[in-house]
Amino acid sequence: MTRDEIKDLVLEIIEDIDEDADFDALDPAEPLRDQLDLDSMDFLDIVMELRKRHQLQIPEEDYPQLATLNSCVDYLEPLLKDA
Amino acid sequence: MKYPFLIIGSGLSGLAAAIRISNYCPDVLLLDQHSRIGGLNSYYYRNNRLLETGLHAITNYAPKKQKHAPINKLFRQLKIKRDEFSFKEQIGSQIHFGSDQILNFNNDVNLLISEVERLFPDCHDDFCSLLKKIEVHNPFQNTTGLSARKYLEEMISDKRLIEMLLCPLCYYGSSVENDMELNQFVIMFRSIFLEGMFRPEGTIRDFLQVLKQRFVDQGGTLRLKSKVSRILVKNNTAYGVELDSGEIIEADNILSTAGYEETLALTGRDLKTRIGKRLAFIESIFLVDDSIKNNLTTSKTIIFYNSGELFNYQQSAEIVDYRSGVICFPQNFQDIGISDPLEIRLTHLANYDLWQKLSSTPEEYRRVKLQCSARSAETAEKIIGIFSDNIVYQDTFTPVTIQRYTLKHEGAIYGSPRKIADGDIGFTNLFLAGTDQGFLGIIGSMLSGVSIANQHFLTKI
């Protein structure tokens, strides 16, 4: 997957969790949680969806690396390079 | 077949956990002892009519746009659109104390604030600071065992107001005598007074049907009439269950919604000492022809009442404690329309041991049951007007009925006074959700299923 495809994947997952999520003003360098008003339960859903769709096992200690859209892409890029 | 996930009990917590887990792993087996799902909140048919077993009202009403309200969190986690249901808010409810004090409340907290000011003018400021404190209290912090009554007494000088506020909260969710655990109190206060009461259009059957369909569509397996007689355990690990029929089903992970003591008993590890007193209830349903329509019977949703000087929320010494109770009119929600006949539900505290003793002589048990429902009606008539002559059908659940149908020990619908917030009951792969995890009510128990699934099961997929 390219970086853009990974970005779309993450946003698609978030849209599935919250259909009213507003990405227009999203700053990719700032935490998703604050900007999109996600809580820890929503966050777990992102991890679980990545597992379901791409069989990715993301250990709990890596969750902080999914904080912003940019850091998600950085973290997922090597894991999804063949996807 | 060995199931990765097995859930005991298809009440609302079990169903919610089943939906949550099967969204990511379809190999979930949900077992229930009955021929119908729903646990405490199920239904049955009598007199050509569907009767609900437990539902008065659902608490935690919040508009869709409040993203972090428990109800919206729940539906997001279940991936069910709220629009699949049509929610009807309550019309208005009351708390009656003694012969003259009536406090009105509805889903707008401003009514409660002005009612407190009307009845307890000296407590207005105290009450407003209580609301502010409750707003910022985090009920999920690890401080269990604090007394809600003490917390209230530190802030509110009028004892009567404290009891009037406690009455609905205790009746809709306290497993502790004459008090509530503080975190539990904050959750209940928010869900009843700050959020509010509603019910879905249709019956509980329609609501359950949507949940069941979602579970089955995700590939989950539901088996009814499958009573678990033992949870098979080796050291601190469970490896399956044995059913009443003798059938053995193996599982990697088990979620029990059967209650704390009840689950331990299934593993063969009975508690040596009992945990405090359990609170049992009796409920009568009356179908009444519509000649009793009056201001209260057509416009109030729930009336909580206490006739004595003090509010006694404790194990009843008599077979039924008529001094306080709940009167529910299940048709009095906005835009539901008055049904004919009208339904009235009356609830009181009751004594399990006395009913249990009686049940060994079925004729006597039936006679006392009728006597008690007549006395209960008489008590309610003092508040809502005479209806006894207009009853077309009636039915009563005693603590014995509740124990038989729900497995809840001693018919205690709110379970053990001790709650296990993290669901950990001392096993590596067997956890607890539901009543004894501590979140109560329909939305609460479903969130209980979801949060225990999140904490202990999703990580194992």
Alpha-carbon gap, residue B116 to B99, rounded angstroms: 17
Global ipTM: 0.90
Q: Are B440 and B173 in contact (CB under 8 A)?
A: yes
For residue A83, what pLDDT is reported?
80
List of residues 6+ apart from B403 with CB closer than 8 A:
B352, B409, B410, B411
- Give B461's contacts in chain A (Cβ within 8 Å): 48, 51
Strand B280-288 and strand B248-256: pairing? Answer: unpaired
For residue B209, what pLDDT is reported?
97
Between chain A and chain B, the number of residue pairs with CB atoms below 8 A apart is 28
For residue B297, what pLDDT is reported?
85
Q: How far lies A75's CA from each of A11, A70, B401, in Å? A: 15, 9, 56
- The model's confidence at residue A26, banded by pLDDT at 50, 70 and 90, is very high
Q: How far lies B349's CA from each of A22, B156, B174, B237, B399, in Å? A: 50, 27, 12, 38, 9
For residue B137, what pLDDT is reported?
94
B interface with A, Cβ–Cβ < 8 A, is 23-24, 67-68, 73, 76-77, 79, 450-451, 454, 458-459, 461
- Closest by Cα among A15, A8, A3 to A76: A3
For residue B73, what pLDDT is reported?
94
DSSP string for B264-306: HHHHT---SS--SPPPEEEEEEEEE-GGG--HHHHH-SEEEEE
- Give B450's contacts in chain A (Cβ within 8 Å): 41
- Give A42's contacts in chain B (Cβ within 8 Å): 76
Q: If phi over 0 gives left and psi between -120 and 50 gives alpha, with beta otherwise, what is residue B388?
A: alpha
Helix (H, G, I), strand (E, B) or coil at B417: coil
Q: Which residue of A has its CA nearest to B460?
A: A57
- Closest by Cα among B450, B448, B440, B424 to B185: B440
Q: Which of B22, B64, B68 to mutate to test the interface with A (most CBs of A within 10 A)?
A: B68
> Smallest Cβ distance to A37: which of B67, B458, B459?
B67
Q: Considering the entire predicted model, what is its pTM? A: 0.95
Task: Output the tens digit of pLDDT for each of chain B's 461 residues.
Answer: 899 999 999 999 999 999 999 999 999 999 999 999 999 999 999 988 899 998 999 999 999 989 889 999 999 999 999 999 999 999 999 999 988 899 999 999 999 999 999 999 999 999 999 999 999 999 887 767 899 999 999 999 999 999 999 999 999 999 999 999 999 999 999 999 999 999 999 999 999 999 999 999 999 999 999 999 999 999 999 999 999 999 999 999 999 999 999 999 999 997 777 788 999 999 999 999 877 888 888 899 999 999 988 899 999 999 999 999 999 999 999 988 767 789 999 999 999 999 999 999 999 999 999 999 999 999 999 999 999 999 999 999 999 999 999 888 999 999 998 899 999 999 999 999 999 998 889 999 999 999 999 999 998 98
What ranges make up the beta strands (E) of B66-127?
A: 87-89, 93-97, 101-105
Contact A48 B24 (CB under 8 A): yes
- Give B68's contacts in chain A (Cβ within 8 Å): 37, 39
Query: Domains in chain A, ordered, with CATH?
Result: 3-79 (1.10.1200.10)
> Smallest Cβ distance to B458: which of A18, A42, A44?
A44
Q: Which residue of A has its CA nearest to B79?
A: A17
* Segments in B120-158 forming alpha helices (H): 124-136, 148-155
Length of chain B: 461
Say if residue B2 is exposed, middle or buried (CB neighbours under 10 Å; 0-12, 13-18, 19+). Answer: exposed
Cross-strand bridge partners of residue A42: none
